[in-house]
Amino acid sequence: MAEVILLNGGSSSGKSGIVRCLQAVLPDPWLALGTDTLVEAMPASNAGIEFAPDGQVIVGPEFRRLEAAWIEGIAAMARAGARVIVDEVFLGGADSQKRWQKALGELRVLWVGVRCDSAVAAGREVARGDRVIGMAASQAEMVHRGMVYDLEVDTTRTESLECARTIAAQVS
Q: Which residues are catalytic?
A: 36
Residue in 61, 106, 129, 148 binding its own copies, rule: CB under 8 A: 129
Please report whether residue 44 would count as binding its own copies according to CB under 8 A.
yes
Please report whether residue 39 would count as binding its own copies according to CB under 8 A.
no
Residue in 150, 152, 154, 162 binding its own copies, rule: CB under 8 A: 162
Residue in 1, 127, 148, 172 binding its own copies, rule: CB under 8 A: 127
User: CB-based burial of residue 154 (10 Å sphere; 0-12 exposed, 13-18 middle, 19+ buried)?
Assistant: middle
Give, as ranges, the residues between 7 and 26 that touch its own copies (CB under 8 A): 16-18, 20-21, 23-24
CA distance linking residue 42 with residue 85, whole number of Å: 20
Residue in 59, 82, 142, 147 binding its own copies, rule: CB under 8 A: 82
DSSP bridge pairs for 7: 87, 112
Residue in 1, 29, 148, 172 binding its own copies, rule: CB under 8 A: 29
To its own copies, the closest distance from the beta carbon of 93 in angstroms equals 23
User: Residue 39 or residue 151: which is nearer to its own copies going by CB?
Assistant: 39
Contact footprint for its own copies (CB under 8 A): 16-18, 20-21, 23-24, 29-33, 37-38, 40-48, 62, 65-66, 68-70, 72-82, 120, 123-124, 126-129, 157, 159-162
